[in-house]
Amino acid sequence: APSASSGTTARGMSAVLSEVLRGRRVLLVRHGNTAKAEVDADRELTEFGRGQCAKFAEAWRGSLDGIAHVMASPVKRTIQTAGIITEPLGVEVLPVEDLYFIRPWRTDEMKRADKDCGYAPAAVFIEKHPGSHELAGKVMAQAVAEAGASLGPGDLMIVGHAGYLSFLALEVVDAMAEDATRPEGWREAARSVVLAANVGEACGFELGEGGARYLPNPESTDFAAAKSNDAFVAVVGAS
């Protein structure tokens, strides 16, 4: 995995990711609503969460057309989300370990920022805790690049987790910008979309030649009921 100081490695990773994503649209989607669990990885979708996923699939049917590959964090809630959304497509879901955030690379700085910011746009994390999640984005991007090295043609959907998904999206933006007609203009416009969004349950981003857009869910997320990931873990720290 790239380290925080490995600029050359990070640039190399971006080039590899750019090659993997060339000619594709990319959808990045957060999992749906879950129940509490003793351990974070054991959380499963509620009926409401399953409904959110079905409504996302219906609302963004046009964006899902062309999705030929799906990667997901390997835990229950993300695999379930990916399965429900892509069921009509008949696409196999590929679990990717480093799309889950409770990994050895998650630093104390990331944990502090997660606790302080809760569910919030990436711009808030960057303002309050500059650089805290840069490594997370790069590790996840490298994992996508490695998992995608042998993909055939077709668009890609990635299912992940609040906060971390946005930092992966920023890396995807950088990689895809290299092939844009006006790379800097495309990059800045796409980054502004990613940075501003507080990604709700079963919501996400669509990135393509025409730029970036946020894909909201018809069933809105109750951010007041759960202000951070810890609200869903019965014993905080058990994960």
pLDDT digits over 86-97, tens only? 999 999 999 999
- Phi, psi angle pair for 92, to nearest 5°: -75, 140
What pLDDT is recorded for position 239?
A: 36
What pLDDT is recorded for position 97?
A: 98
- Phi, psi angle pair for 148, to nearest 5°: -95, 0
What pLDDT is recorded for position 229?
A: 79
Quick check: 201 and 221 in contact, CB under 8 A? yes
**159-171 in b/e burial notation, b at 16+ Cβ within 10 A?**
bbbbbbbbbbbbb
pTM higher than 0.85: yes
Distance of alpha carbon 142 from alpha carbon 164, whole angstroms: 14
How many whole angstroms from its chain centre is CA 113?
A: 17
Strands 67-72 and 204-208: unpaired
Residue stretches of the chain with pLDDT short of 50: 3-8, 236-239
What pLDDT is recorded for position 238?
A: 38
